[in-house]
Amino acid sequence: MGFAITLFVPLALAVMMFSLGLGLAVGDFVRVARHPRAFAVGLFAQFVLLPAVGFAICHLFALAPEMAVGLMILALSPGGVTSNMMTRYCDGDVALSISLNGVSNLAAVFTMPLLVAVFADYFLGLDSPDIAVANLGLTMFALTAAPVAAGLLVRRYAQPLAEAIDAPVRKAAMILLVVVIAGAVASNWQSFMHHLPSLGPSIVLLAVTLLVAGLLLARLAALGPPQATAIALDTGIQNAAFGITVGAVIGGGEGLVPAYSVPSGVYGVLMYLVIVPFMFWRRAALLPALHGR
Q: What is the CATH number of the domain that holds 225?
A: 1.20.1530.20
Distance CA 121, CA 208 (A): 28
Within a domain: 79: yes
Give the residue, 7 or 71, on which the prediction is more confident.
Answer: 71
CA–CA distance, 253 with 174 (Å, rounded to integer): 26
DSSP single-letter state for residue 238? B
What pLDDT band is residue 1 in, cutting at 50, 70 and 90?
Answer: very low
pLDDT > 70: percent of the chain: 88
Q: Long-range pairs for 248-254 at CB < 8 Å and ≥24 separation?
A: 248/1, 248/5, 248/9, 249/136, 249/139, 250/116, 250/120, 250/129, 250/131, 250/136, 251/129, 252/1, 252/129, 253/1, 253/2, 253/5
* Number of domains comprising the chain: 1
Question: What does the pLDDT average to over 126-143?
Answer: 81
Residue 59 lies in a domain: yes
Using CA atoms, how far apart are residues 144 and 16, in angstroms rounded to an integer?
9
Residue 291 domain-assigned? no
Q: For residues 32 and 259, give the distance between their C-alpha atoms in angstroms, rounded to a whole number.
A: 37
Residue 43 within any structural domain of the chain:
yes
CA-wise closest residue to 263 among 279, 281, 280, 242: 242
Q: What is the pLDDT of residues 138-187, one digit of tens each?
A: 888 888 888 888 988 898 888 888 888 988 888 887 787 777 777 667 76
Determine, yes or no, domain membership for 37. yes
Can you give the pTM of this predicted structure?
Answer: 0.84
Residue 292 included in any domain: no
Residue 293 lies in a domain: no
| pLDDT at residue number 106 | 82
Domain that holds residue 278: 3-286
Has residue 202 been placed in a domain?
A: yes
